[in-house]
Amino acid sequence: MPKPKVFVTRNIPHPALPLLKKHCQVRVNPKDTILSKKELLKGVKWCDALLCLLTDKVDKAVIDANPNLKVISNYAVGYNNIDVKYATEKGIPVCNTPSQQVVDAVAEHAFTLLLGIAKRIHEDEEYVRKHKWKAWAPKLLLGIQVKGKTLGIVGLGRIGKGVAQRAQCMGLKIIYANRSKQPKFEKKFGAKKVSLTTLLKKSDFISLHVPLLPSTHHLIGKKELSMMKSTAYLINTSRGPVVNEKALIQALKKKKIAGAGLDVYESEPNVNPKLTALNNVILTPHTASATIEVREQMSKDAANNILAILKNKKAQKTVNPEVYSKRRF
């Protein structure tokens, strides 16, 4: 019996490929670049299972390219690059790679951005590198102290709670906006659930941790930014389109808010040059989960998701579990 075929859209860290090669024929994109639509379609037509990345748009055309496609395994926690609804209609499980390692890494990164922008670390570093530092001065590059400030967390999932844990250690007060009240969380962290409007008005730091949905697209826009304190900072490690980038640029330019720390953007990997020109924002290239530990765990999970489906079992990390009621393989 021939081995099932797996197409991997980009070379990923160990151990996915060795795991897959034990049981499957594996083809990997030989170039360390994003595949063109034509290349992606060609790979999908060949395979039984697709291991893709957030940068791969797996839409109706891609799914229809192979009527025998059995599983789509996304090497990511998010999956807004995949038409999950259509995949479900076609009976195809869509899997992702959430883990505690991802939670910890993203929470660490969000808090790194918070501390960095508060202490003006990016400006400090540039000041030294460009040999501008001539002597200590009492007013040189003054930042703010985070202890005692109020952190507003928008979206209290696992990552939001991870940020709260780190914030508590640093002595911040915590408020949150979430669909449901979290009594155990409130008791543990002394936190309070508030409306988004109240959170925007009261927070010194606002950290976004919501998925990208029609309801969260441009959740933070001109109106919301105008509600923030002029001394407040916005941190986004969720998804770029959650924030109206043009409105954010204007708020930063006009000092309507003090600054921002961003790991995600509306048109990745293209970052608005008006944003990169600003010095009151820290920018990182969607690397919140970029640790060796995380990427290796994601690799293992992405491979195991595929192997489970190919063995006619349920994958542990399936974003459309209802698909199992209509399995066709």
234: nearest Cα among 209, 216, 254, 208: 208
Question: 130: how many CB neighbours lie within 10 A of its CB?
Answer: 8
Of the candidates 122, 239, 245, 295, the residue annotated as catalytic is: 239
Amino acid found at 263: D
Find residue 154's DSSP bridge partners.
177, 208
268 in active site: yes
User: Any residues with CB less than 8 A from the CB of 74 and at least 6 apart, and which?
Assistant: 52, 53, 54, 81, 82, 94, 95, 96, 97, 302
The alpha carbon torsion through 85, 9, 308, 320 (nearest 10 deg) reads -10
Sign, CA dihedral 195-109-146-236, equals negative
129 in active site: no
Amino acid found at 123: E
Strand order across the 49-52 sheet: 25-28, 5-8, 49-52, 71-74, 94-95
Of the candidates 23, 218, 286, 296, the residue annotated as catalytic is: 286
| Distance separating alpha carbons of residues 33 and 131, to the nearest angstrom | 36
239 in active site: yes
Of the candidates 89, 108, 268, 296, the residue annotated as catalytic is: 268
Structure tokens at 88: 């479900």
Q: What amino acid positions are annotated as catalytic residues? A: 239, 268, 286
